[in-house]
Structure 1
């Protein structure tokens, strides 16, 4: 336990931020699974629709500094490559 008041406050803030970041990252993983499921079903229109939602969520997470901007760009690029590789 922290002995200093500011350290106690910092601990409380970190707990709240940790919960928020985990919630956002969990949502990102769910969106990613939806895109992959659409790709596996070989439905390009559905995959593009899900990709738009995933891309938007990544951009929002990057804006809120949950993930790095370059990380979001890399994830979008990787997913777009999978969609473009579909038959």
Structure 2
């Protein structure tokens, strides 16, 4: 229980920020899963499109501070390598 008005505001804003971060991370996982499914199915066109969407979403999340830039760069690199290794 917050003791001051400003603490109560911080609790509300923290909850709002946590919700937005959770949504963003869930979307990232969904896009990564979609790319992985396309790669496993051997669908090159879908994989390239999914890679573009996932890269964009990762960059936006890093820009907003939801995920660290290093994680973003590492994920993008590994996802691109998966697509590149497709037949």
Give 1:24 shift.
0.6
Partner of 1:16: 16
**Structure 1: which 4+ aligned runs deviate by more than 4 Å?**
none
Q: TM-score, normalised by structure 1?
A: 0.93
Partner of 1:49: 49
Residue 12 (structure 2) pairs with residue 3 (structure 1): no
Q: TM-score, normalised by structure 2?
A: 0.93
Q: 1: CA distance between counterparts of 2:75 and 2:6?
A: 37
1:55-66 matches, within 5 Å, as 55-66=55-66
Q: Give unpaired runs (5+ residues) of structure 1.
A: none
Give 1:44 shift.
1.6
Aligned length: 87
Q: 2: CA distance between counterparts of 1:46 and 1:3?
A: 53
